[in-house]
Amino acid sequence: MRAEEARGLAGLVFDLDDTLLDHGELTEVAYASLFRLREAGLRLVACTGRPAGWAEVLVRQWPLDAAIAENGAVAFVKERRPFGAPRLRLVFPSDLAAAGARRAELRALAEELRVRFPIVALADDNSARFTDVTLDIGEHCRAPAEDVAAMRAEASRRGVHTLASSVHLHLSFDPADKATGTLRLLEAAFGEDPTRARLTYAFVGDSGNDAAAFAAFTTTIGVANVRAYLPSLPVPPKFVTQAAMGRGFAELATTLVDLRVHPG
């Protein structure tokens, strides 16, 4: 990466599972990297398939400006005030009741798929979700690729959108993805022009549900474990770190900070 590219960035949008996190665990080096990135003047936005309930906690407690959850369908922003603690605001969806009602149909489909493919299970974070229902295909279970493909095909026949990450298969009626959700959040919360934001925000991820963001943004980075998904990504990340998962994120952070602070 050239110094001009690093210095032209306004923010970093990053995935959680197997990008910042190592198999679901947050390491000291990865977490510390967020503070260094923030000190280097970058706006930080987490963008994950994990549930809204998780995103709400992360925005409250981590050095983040916003978080996007459920693969682009939910977004929270941290609003700083002249005094007291920052206030958390739900940017979207606007109608939580409607989103919750549609989840009942998704839950029924997930139960059908679980019976048909007994190797999978309902993900253990479903109770914290606002818009989607999620099956565990790689976190505590190991579903073969052909089973995941068959489940996605069946969901599609039912008019349900699917996204697969390294750990989960997401079922949703919301067509959002990480790219559309991020651009929607940046415009609504920070007044960013969506076209310009594609140039001034970098995205870092690791797997299939990051594909839309890898295609949408100009500066894209995959941590080393993304190599397993490169054959299935329509547009690969522009850069790939040498290290995997949280160590790869820390490697990226060190590179960005050094290029921004010491461009020569």
76-105 per-position pLDDT tens digit:
999 988 887 889 999 999 999 999 899 999
Distance of CA 32 to the CA centre of its chain: 19
Q: What is the pLDDT of residue 95?
A: 93
Q: What is the pLDDT of residue 84?
A: 79
Could you tell me which residue, 85 or 37, shows the higher pLDDT? 37
Q: What is the pTM of this model?
A: 0.95
Please write the tens of the pLDDT for every residue from 191-231: 999 999 999 999 999 999 999 999 999 999 999 999 999 99
What integer pLDDT is reported at residue 81 of this predicted model?
81
Contact in structure between 179 and 213 (CB atoms under 8 Å): yes
φ, ψ at 60 (rounded to 5°) = -65, -40
Domains of the chain in sequence order: 3-93+176-261 (3.40.50.1000), 99-172 (3.90.1070.10)
What's residue 80's pLDDT?
85
Whether residue 47 is predicted with pLDDT greater than 70 in this model: the reply is yes
**Arithmetic mean of pLDDT over the chain:** 96
User: Residue 46: beta bridge partners?
Assistant: 14, 67
Band of pLDDT at residue 165, cut at 50, 70 and 90: very high
The pLDDT of residue 183 = 98
Q: Residue 180: what pLDDT? A: 98
Any idea how long the chain is?
264
Where does the pLDDT of residue 264 fall: very low under 50, low under 70, confident under 90, or very high at 90 and above?
low
**Residue 33: pLDDT above 70?**
yes
Interior/surface letters 70-104, b for 16+ CB within 10 angstroms, e for the rest? bbbbbbbbbeeeeeeeeebeebbbeeeeebeeebe
